[in-house]
Structure 1
Amino acid sequence: MGYAVVLGEALVDLLESDLSGELIYRQAIGGGPLNVSVGATRLGGDVRYVGSLSNDILGDRLSAFLRTAGVNIHGVKRVPVPTTLAVTTFEGAEPTFTFYGEPPSYALLEPGDLNTAEIAAADVLYTGSICLLREPFRNAARAAWQVPGPLRVFDPNIRPTLLPDAAALDTVRTMVEEFFATADLVKLSSADAAVLYDGAEPPAAAEHIRKLGAKAVVVTWGARGAFVAAEDGTAMLTAPKVDAVDATGAGDSVMGALISRLLSTGFPPGLAGWQSNVRFALAVAGLVCERQGGATAMPTNEDLTARWGALV
């Protein structure tokens, strides 16, 4: 089995919680790409996280968490700015994020910080999420994306609170479509699809992204499951029934699970293989939703077997 390189943000979530009737904010490790790194690692993948972390105490905690989780962090760049905070509020189990910290600690990776030989030798390269909204990270991601060799996996992870107007949305759409066009796999949420494509539902968004050039598209659709579009067809897969308490990181867990499958079994030759992989990923996400969310909720294969029995 080879390894995956994951480029993107790591930050600290402040999660809105209730403590005996008092509203508090619980500190948690976060950032979509960090969650993906931990999720894939806990499922048996070899993951090398590449990004910028603050040299403050919160950055130390992020670094220690990744190391303890088994994620390789020798590609991390430490930077002298405060760690970005994501204040997370909820409507039911669904989170909304507001970000604090300027410049963002997570977006200071530069093209010259990349180990291009390591990227070229990887089986999978992942990037995406809010770090692409800022330089110099965006140029670093573009440089990594151009390195030949690995399967290229992308998640736009759109955060509307970071898009103040229609012009900002247009800019983001153009940028993410640049990555869509050359991706082997695009994973996005139904909310991402609706924001990017004026309320489009997953089938229409997936068709559009496939026409841009992506080889496979997986659109998560909350409790309904996920829509899959491959080169030889499409399918709608239902999600397992769960008692969701916190959906934070659920989409990231789907990506982590898909990366773990790409590492263990390679790129599926057709829709049937993608259906198997996505069923597995939805089982992972279901278990994440039953836990307090984020990176700490990412399950192991043993956790999955204990909860769901034998998985396809």
Structure 2
Amino acid sequence: MGYAMVMGEALIDLLEADLDGERIYRQAIGGAPLNVAVGVARLGGDVRFAGTLSTDVLGDRMAAFLRAAGVDGQGVRRVGVPTTLAVTTFEGAEPTFTFYGEPPSYALLTPADLDVPAIAGAAVLYAGSISLLREPFLAAARAAWSTAGPLRVFDPNVRPTLLPGTAAVDALRDLTEEFFATADLVKLSSADAVALYGEHDPAAAAAHILTLGAGAVVVTCGSRGAHVATRDGATDIPAPLVEAVDATGAGDSVMAALISRLLTGGRPTGPAAWTGHVRFALSVAGLVCERQGGATAMPTPADLLARWGDR
């Protein structure tokens, strides 16, 4: 089994909560790619993280958290700007994010910072999320993505609060489709499909992304499960029944679970294999939703066995 290289943002989530009738914000380490990296490690995978962390105390905490989670941080560069904060509010269990911090501490990785041999030697390369909206990180991601060797997985992880108008949405669509075209796997949410294409039918969105060149597409649909599509077929997979308290990081856990399966089994050979991978990923996400979300909610195999049994 090889290792995964995960590129992208690490930041601090301030999660809205209620304490004795008072609205407070609970600090949590987050960022979709960091969540993915931690999720892969918790599931037993070998994973390396490439990105930038602040030199402030919050950056120190994130670096220590990655080490404790078993994520290799040799690809991390420390930068002298304050850690970006994501203030997270909720409608039910679904989070909305507003970001604070300029320049963003998470998007300062440059192409010169990349360990190209380490990227070429990876079994899986992950890119995506909000770090792609900024330079120099976008240039670094493009350079890594063009490196031959690993399976390439992509998640747009659209954040509407970072898209101020139609032009920004159009630019993001063009950017994500650049990566979709050469991805072995695209994972997106149904909300991402609406934001990018105005498309409320996950199957239609997945079919379009396949025409761009993606090898497989998984569209997560919250409590309704997921739609998985390849050139050989498509199907809908129901989610397990859970008592959701916080969906933060649930989509990231799906990607982490899919990466863990790619590390152990390589590229799936047909729709049935992808379906099995997605069923497993939805069981991981279901458990995440039953916990206070973010990187700390990512489960281990023992957690999954205790919750779901041997499935």
TM-score tier, shorter chain, comes to over 0.9
Shift, 1:198, TM fit: 1.2
8 Å CA contact retained: 1:284, 1:304? yes
How far did residue 252 of structure 1 move? 0.1
Q: SS at the partner of 1:205? A: helix
Q: How far apart are the structure 2 equivalents of 1:212 and 1:281?
A: 25
Where does residue 297 of structure 2 map in the other structure?
297
Gaps of 5+ in 1: none
3-state SS, counterpart of residue 74 of structure 2: coil
Amino acid at match of 2:48: R
Cα drift, residue 201 of structure 1:
1.7
| AA partner of residue 237 (structure 1) | I
How far did residue 92 of structure 1 move? 0.1
> Is the CA contact (8 Å cut-off) linking 1:231 and 1:270 kept in structure 2?
no
2:197 aligns with 197
Aligned to 2:265: 265
| CA–CA separation in structure 2 for the residues paired with 1:266 and 1:182 | 17
Partners of 1:128 and 1:299 in 2: how far apart?
A: 22
Measure, in 1, the Cα distance between the counterparts of 2:278 and 2:154.
16
Moved over 2 A (4+): none
Q: Please give the root-mean-square deviation of Cα atoms over the aligned residues, in Å.
A: 0.5
The match for 1:166 is: 166
1:133-174 deviation line (CA, Å, top 9, x unaligned): 000000000000000000000000000000000000000000
Once residues 156 and 43 of structure 1 are traced to their aligned partners in structure 2, the CA distance between those partners, rounded to angstroms, is 23
State the partner residue of 1:86.
86
Distance 1:196 1:43 in 2: 31
**Cα distance per residue 1:212-261 (max 9 Å; x no partner):** 00000000000000000012100100000000000000000000000000
Post-superposition offset of 1:104: 0.1
CA contact (8 A) 2:124 2:152 kept: yes
What does 1:64-103 correspond to in 2, within 5 Å?
Answer: 64-103=64-103
Deviation of 1:199 (Å): 3.1
Q: Distance in 2 between matches of 1:218 and 1:252?
A: 12
> For structure 2, which runs of at least 5 residues remain unmatched after alignment?
none
Matched with 2:244 is 244
Q: What is the one-letter code of the residue matched to 2:287? A: L
Please give the secondary structure, in 2, of the residue aligned with 1:245.
coil
Q: Give per-residue Cα distances to partners, 1:86-116, cap 9 Å, x unaligned.
A: 0000000000000000000000000000001
Could you tell me how far 1:197 is from its partner in structure 2? 0.5
Aligned to 1:75, the other structure's residue is in SS state strand
Partner of 1:42: 42
| TM-score (norm. length: structure 1) | 0.99
Q: Hey, what does 2:308 align to over in structure 1?
A: 308
Report the secondary structure of 1:88's partner residue. strand
Show the counterpart of 1:52. Answer: 52
Paired residue type of 1:143: A
The aligned counterpart of 1:286 is 286
Whole-angstrom CA distance in 1 between matches of 2:199 and 2:140: 31
Cα offset, 1:200, TM superposition? 3.3
Q: Match of 2:177, SS?
A: helix
The one-letter code matched in structure 1 to 2:297 is A
C-alpha separation between the residues in 2 aligned to 1:82 and 1:113?
20
Report deviation, 1:297.
Answer: 0.2
Contact 1:36 1:252 in 2 (8 A): yes
CA distance in 2, matches of 1:265, 1:231: 20
Q: What's the CA shift for 1:26?
A: 0.3
Tell me how far apart the structure 2 counterparts of residues 287 and 34 of structure 1 sit (CA, whole Å): 18
How many residues end up aligned between the 2 structures? 311
What residue in structure 2 maps to residue 111 of structure 1?
Answer: 111
Give the counterpart letter for 2:280 in structure 1.
F
Identity %: 72
| Structure 2 counterpart SS, 1:73 | strand
Deviations 1:164-186 (A, max 9, x none): 00000000000000000000000
Take 2:200 and 2:6, find their aligned partners in 1: how far apart are those partners?
28
For 1:137 and 1:296, the matched residues in 2 are separated by 25
Question: Aligned equivalents of 2:282 and 2:40: distance in 1?
Answer: 14
The 2-side partners of 1:288 and 1:218 are apart by 18
